[in-house]
Structure 1
Amino acid sequence: MSVKVSVVIPVYNPGRYIEDCIESLLRQSLPDDEYEAIFVNDGSTDETPARLDQLAAEHEHVQVIHQEPSGWSGKPRNVGIAAARGEFVMFVDNDDWLGDEALERMYEYGVANEADVIIGKMAGKGRPVPLQLFRVNRPRANVDNAPLIDSLTPHKMFRKDFLDKHAIRFKEGRRRLEDHVFVAETYLLASSVAVLSDYVCYYHVKREDASNAGFQRFDPVGYFTNLREALDVVERNTQPGPLRDKLYRRWLRNEMVERLRGTRLTTLPDDYRKELFDEISAVVNERMTSPAIAAGMQPTQQIVAALVAAGKFAETEELARWEGEIRPTGRLEEMSWDGGRLNLRVTAEYEVAHAPITFRTEDGEDQLNLPFDAATLEAVRAAGASTRATVDQADASIVVRERTTAAEFYLPAELVRERVPAPDGADDTHFRLLLRATSYLDPETAAGGSPLGPGIWDFYVRVNACGWGKTARLGSLRAGSVDTARRGALSGTPARLVLPYWTDPYNNLSLDVDHATNRFNADVRALTPDGVTLKTERGSAARLSFPLPLRVTGDTDATLRFKAPARSDDVQVPAVLAPAGEGAVLTAELPATLLAGRDWEIELGLPSAKRGAPRFTLLPVGLRVAKHGRATALPAAQLAGTGRKRATARSLPRRVLGRIRRALVRS
């Protein structure tokens, strides 16, 4: 069978970080004879070459190419392209990894949409990834109808015939932004680009030692010399006008303006800050002279661009210090289950120096309250930069992110923008902006239309307003009613536990999907004997029922397991969870004759789709069953014996117990 995808992995001294990459390639759902992994070892001096040779010996679809060190990723990627036999070529860095179905899904999606380039949804572990690009699937995208230009890393799938036809290759040698040059050219020459957003295909990882090549401080002169090469690609393949301005704007915004804002600038050494500013100023005045380029950015970004063009370094630093203190806040106002959905209502805004940001109205137009004197403010406006506060475009979104993989998804939301009077002391032209978002999480569709996978999902509020795009954890600020409304639910078929909870120690909101933690134990601790109902008749079965803080949408099977303290045997009986108000009631028929004459601990077994068997939780209430069968509920601590501790001792071998007894007698 012909090879569908060739995966090219440039390798240089990754150490243990390559193992996740290797394992993800071996786990691919695409059959082994339909893809190949080509590791190009670029002169590694660690144990990696031997590891790769062993891997190739064990797997026919793995190939290793060894070469002298070239200094960067361009040459090994080109060597991989030359060796590739696949219809498509996929590039993966040696410290990143793929989703298990990534190659199969991306290939099929690309073929179905006749794409020359396929971009799979990315998740960033400590690294930024484009967010707006992956909000929806885009089967036939281009640089004009989609924000493709926001994603210029090479971690994509490219049709090999397309690369060969246009002689598209990476620039080689020790250099920066060779991927920008390569990817920008593919975007501009491709007949179509397909963006797959409903499955996380690529995990972009920041190493714990922060030694990824992209995290090393760069030489500003060399960096912006290489950046000009990316601009040259755009210039060769576009005409002057709106499209070229739009593409240039990406580099002005991301590679220049954003590097001079907030803590990204203020945390740099003084001399390096000035060198960086001067190089950026040179590029702006040389290549970014069209007023339309900066005009398409947010006003706060326009202001920085104007300061750069005017060479105002001190004012740029002053603005960066002010913006460095801006933080988003999100207050959780409501949280409740409605059917199978977890409804959320959130109020968000920005703060600066621990106080709400205020805006002002001037001549009927909303304005930013900037930390400038009148002369600087006038100079900024004279340069053509807007100081308007774009509050009418402000947005707040709720995002869930899986803690282990960093896969994240936006939740559906409705937004209301509300102006409220500024704090006391400001005149009536000043106001605050509150963003009120109403959202919901459906565990069965929240992952881009698919169910959330098992694990811990953290909630974030993402605020975009006036050129500030920042994210904060959600939950630590909340209304008191949210605590009483919080409860878990059983969701899906087969059913699994979905449990909102507050994290330790920061008290933020997270979601436990399918028993990733033991947090449900805390929810049942409030159960007391008074909440347990027992209906028994002499010599007959007993009917047990008690409430649980758990939402169910219909009758759901569960299990009760009865264990006698200090004994290893147990009795399991089926139970049913039924909706009851805001929670559920559990009922079970107890075999009274089998339980008679003992004390019993009770464990509740809830379904687990991941395990395929119940996950048990010890309840704080147990049963005392008389010999004639009558049962009494009582706190588990009052059961006969010492409960779990005695059971542990009982599990010791008899010879060990005998030695302990003899030692006690002698003492």
Structure 2
Amino acid sequence: MSIKVSVVVPVYNPGKYIEDCIASLLRQSLPDDEYEAIFVDDGSTDETPERLDRLAAEYPHMHVVHQEGSGWSGKPRNVGIEAAKGEFIQFVDNDDWLGDEALERMYDYGVRNDADVIVGKMAGKGRPVPLELFRRNRPHANVENAPLIDSLTPHKMFRKEFLDKHNLRFKEGRRRLEDHVFVAEAYLRAENVAVLSDYLCYYHVKREDASNAGFQRFDPVGYFTNLREALDVVEELTEPGPLRDRLFRRWLRNEMVERLRGQRLLSLPEDYRQELFDEIHKVVVERFGPGVAAGLQPTQQIVAGLISANRLAEVEEFARWEAGIKPFGSLESLGWENGRLAIGFTAEYRSGGEPLTFRADGEKDVLIPPLSRTGLSAIALLGADTSAPLDKSKVDLVVRERATAAEFFQPVELTREKLAVEGGESVESEASGESRKGRFRQVLRATSLVDPLSAANGAPLDEGIWDVLIRISSCGWTKETRLGSVRTDQAGHGRRAAVVGSPARTVLPYWTDPHGNLSLDVDQKTNRLAYEFAGLAPGDVTVTTSPGRLSAVLPFHVQGECEAALKLTDVASGRSVEVAATLTGRTTGDADLRADLPSGEPAEGHWRMDLTLPSLGAGKPVQLPLALEVPAGGEAVVKRLAAAAADLAAKGPARRGPGSRPAKPTFLRRAVRKIRRTLKK
């Protein structure tokens, strides 16, 4: 059978970090005889060469090429291209890894859409990745209809015939941005680029030792000399005009303006700051016409204008102001609606701990940067746009899986409100068009319905802990913050677990320790579910013996009816009775638990109760904070666990000697401690 995909991995002294990469390649769902991995060892001096030789000896589809060190990734990738036998080539760095189904899904998607390049959804562990590009699947993308230019790393799948046809190869030697040159040309020459967003294909990882090549401080002269080569490719393959300006804008924004903003600039030594600024100024003046900066957001335009005017002092002044601008969110409401978690929140930017304010200038809203008169005059002379396009401000709600950093946008309904800073009265609603006077702040009011069964771009959320974040985009700032630490009482009262879907799954919204942010525990990844029952009272549970039935009202949101399991354990003997149970949703938002008990059960004794809820994996039993006391010939009495333990201790065996006390059963001692800890929380 022919090889579908060749994975090319340039390798240099990765140490332990290569193990995750190797493991992910061995886990691929594509059959072993349909893909290969080619590790190109670029003169490693650690134990990696021997590790790769052992791998290749054990697995026929794993190959290794050893070569003298070339100094960078370009030559190893080119060697891998030449050695590849696959229809497509996927590039992977030696400290990153792939999703288990990445090769199969990307290959099938690329073939189905006749793509020359396939871009799989990425996640960043400690490093940024493109976000807007992966909002949805894009089977027929190009640089005009999709933000492809935001993703210029080589970690994509390329049709080998396409690479050979255009002699697309990486520039070699110790240099920067060879991937920008390669990928930009691939985008511009490709007949079709397919973007796969409904499966997490590629995991970018920042090493604990931060020794990834991309995280090292660079020589500005060499860096921007290499950057000009990427600009050359765009000039060669596009005509002057809006498209070229938009593509150039990516480098102006990401590689120049963003390096000179906020804390990113202020954290640099002053001499390096000056050297970096000088090289950026040269490129801006040499290569970019007015149309490039004109498409930037207002705050980015200000920095770009000051760069053009060669005014580093004002750039630093502006950076000090921007460094104090932070996103802020307040959780206003939380609750389940027909199996979806409704999250209501407000969001805004704050400066120095106070709401960021704007000023009305005729029909325009404008920024109020606290620059000197000289700086403001320079901006005015340059014609940089200081207007604040607040009608385009937006906020996204994102769920991010903690272990993998996989993240997905959730649907948001948004209204924008302008509030005067004096007294907070509304100065203009979106509908009224009333005149505006004075300074004001903008508050974004939003609601989002998170459906655990489709929140991952149409797929269910995987088992795990999903952190909830908001991401505010306004005036050229895009910043994110956790949601939940500031919340209303209403939001707190609406938080409860839910059982959703078929097969049923358990989803628990909870507050993180110690900050109190909102996260979702999907399928009992944590043991927090027991805390939900801490408030159960004896009156919430009833037991009848004719017929034998146990009923309870649980603080759960359940759609319709689903199955559960109940286990009763006699404390004295350890004998257990396991029975099937059902959970049925109530209009109050709670759920009825019902279990039919076998004849004669529970027998005389003290019984603990453990509930197992539905889960895609193996459901974990959760101990209820109540116990059944069944007297001889009498009806069962439900007591709080602590009270039941005290009663049982009081009725224990006779004392064995002077001063001795009846021993509590070990189970009850542990249970009481657990419940007390829970109640304290």
CA apart distance, 1:425: 11
Structure 2 residue aligned with 1:434: 443
Distance (Å, rounded) in 2 between the aligned partners of 1:544 and 1:171: 72
Give the 5 Å matches for 1:379-390: 379-390=378-389
- Partner residue of 2:564? 558
> After the TM superposition, which of the residue ranges 269-278 and 374-383 deviates more from structure 2?
374-383
Task: Name the CA distance, whole Å, in 1 between partners of 2:123 and 2:629.
Answer: 53
* 1:566 and 1:646 in contact (8 A); partners too: no
- Per-residue displacement from partner, 1:423-443 (whole Å, max 9, x unpaired)? 469993211101111111001
In 2: Cα distance, 1:425 partner to 1:435 partner = 14
Does 2:132 align with 1:125? Answer: no
Q: Which deviates further from its counterpart, 107-116 or 565-574? A: 565-574
8 Å contact 1:561–1:604 — kept in the other structure? yes
Equivalent position of 1:468 in the other structure: 477
Q: Could you tell me which residue of structure 1 aligns to residue 313 of structure 2? A: 314
Matched, 1:627 2:632: yes
Q: SS of the counterpart of 1:620?
A: strand
Alignment partner of 2:590 out of 583, 588, 606: 583
Q: Is the 1:568–1:647 contact (alpha carbons within 8 Å) kept by the matching residues of 2?
A: no
Who is 1:407 aligned against? 406
Measure the CA separation in 2 of the matches of 1:217 and 1:24: 30
Residue identity opposite 1:316 in structure 2: V
Structure 1 contact 593–629 (Cα < 8 Å) conserved: no
Aligned to 1:645: 666
Q: Tell me how far 1:530 sits from its aligned partner.
A: 2.2
SS of 2:600 mapped into structure 1: helix
2:330 paired with 1:331: yes
Query: Match of 2:389, as an amino acid?
Result: T
Deviation (angstroms), 1:108: 0.7
Residue 374 in structure 1 maps to residue 373 in structure 2 = yes
**CA offset digits 1:59-82 (Å, max 9, x no partner):** 111001111111111110000000
Within 2, Cα distance between the matches of 1:136 and 1:603? 42
Q: What corresponds to 2:623 in structure 1?
A: 618
Letter in 2 for 1:265: L
Q: Aligned partners of 1:304 and 1:245: how far apart in 2?
A: 18
Matches within 5 A, 1:103-142: 103-142=103-142
Matches within 5 A, 1:489-528: 489-528=498-537
Distance 2:353 2:422 in 1: 13
Query: In the TM superposition, what whole-angstrom CA distance separates every residue of 1:453-511 from its partner, at most 9, and x where no partner exists?
Result: 00000000000000000000011111111111100111122211100000000100000
Gap runs ≥5 in structure 2: 426-435, 650-662, 671-681
Residue matched to 2:654: none
The residue number in structure 2 matching 1:445 is: 454
CA root-mean-square deviation: 1.6
Give the 3 Å change call, closer, same or farther, for CA 189–226 of structure 1 in structure 2: same
The structural deviation recorded for 1:602 is 0.6
- The aligned amino acid for 1:253 is R
Partners of 1:647 and 1:566 in 2: how far apart? Answer: 10
Which shows bigger deviation, 39-48 or 149-158?
Answer: 39-48
The runs of 5 or more residues in structure 1 that have no matched partner are 650-667
Give yes or no for contact 1:565–1:643 (8 Å, CA) kept in 2: no
Distance 1:487 1:647 in 2: 27
**Residues 110 and 117 in structure 2, CA contact (< 8 A), matched pair in contact too:** yes
Q: 1:647 Cα deviation (Å)? A: 8.2
Q: Once the two structures are superposed, what CA deviation does each residue of 1:561-593 show, in whole Å capped at 9, x if it has no partner?
A: 111225433111111111121110111122352
Could you tell me which amino acid in structure 1 is paired with residue 98 of structure 2? L
Aligned partner of 2:602 among 564, 576, 595? 595
CA 1:424–1:493 in 2, change beyond 3 Å: closer, same or farther?
A: closer
Normalising by structure 2, we get a TM-score of 0.92
Name the SS of the counterpart of 2:204 in structure 1: strand
Kept after mapping to 2: 8 A contact 1:546/1:585: yes
Alpha-carbon distance between aligned partners in 2 of 1:242 and 1:526, rounded to the nearest angstrom: 62
TM-score, length-normalised on structure 1?
0.94
Contact 2:8 2:38 in 1 (8 A): yes
How far apart, in 2, do the equivalents of 1:44 and 1:566 lie?
A: 64
After TM superposition, the structure 1 stretch with the greater mean CA deviation from structure 2, 428-437 or 143-152, is 428-437
Assess if the C-alpha contact under 8 Å between 2:572 and 2:605 holds in 1.
Answer: no
Counterpart CA distance in 1 for 2:304 and 2:211 is 31
CA contact (8 A) 2:496 2:509 kept: yes
AA aligned to 2:211 is S
Letter in 1 for 2:542: T
What secondary structure is seen at the aligned counterpart in 1 of 2:133? helix
| Greater mean alpha carbon deviation, residues 71-80 or residues 555-564 | 555-564
| Cα shift at 1:239 | 1.3
- Using the alignment, how far apart are the partners of 1:21 and 1:45 within structure 2? 19
Question: How many residue pairs were aligned?
Answer: 643
State the one-letter code of the partner of 2:565.
T
Equivalent AA in structure 2 for residue 170 of structure 1: F
Distance 2:668 2:625 in 1: 17
Q: Amino acid of the residue matched to residue 507 of structure 1? A: G
User: Deviation at 1:374?
Assistant: 3.2
